[in-house]
Amino acid sequence: MFSENLKIARKRKDYTLEQLANEYNKRFGGGLSKGTLSKYENGKQEPMITVVINLAEILDVSIDFLTNSTLDNTYKLVSDELGLSQKS
């Protein structure tokens, strides 16, 4: 799911929501706020594809990773380490 994958990728890079928003705006001249990023991570809003592409570049992950609903094993391990995995 995009929201979970975005959070995993952001935490892997040690970005806060504010730091990611600032980096995004610096690189791409956009008006992305930490509030909008929070909505993305909480599944309350979906980004435009250009935003997904730009976030993937900043976070050094593939677009497929961000948009794929299934985590591959590498990112699953990272998710578990960060305590982001869902408990059944």
Residue 86 in domain? no
Single-letter amino acid, residue 6: L
Note the pLDDT tens digit of each residue in 8-22: 999 999 999 999 999
Domain that holds residue 67: 2-81
Stated pTM of the model: 0.77
Instruction: State the pLDDT at residue 1.
Output: 84
Answer yes or no: is 87 within a domain: no
Q: What tens digit of pLDDT does each residue of 28-83 get?
A: 998 899 999 999 999 999 999 999 999 999 999 999 899 985 545 455 545 556 66
Encoded amino acid at 76, one letter = K
- Report the CATH number that the domain containing residue 9 is assigned in CATH: 1.10.260.40
What number of other Cβ atoms are within 10 A of residue 1's Cβ?
14
Contacts of 39 (CB under 8 A, 6+ apart): 45
Number of domains in the chain: 1
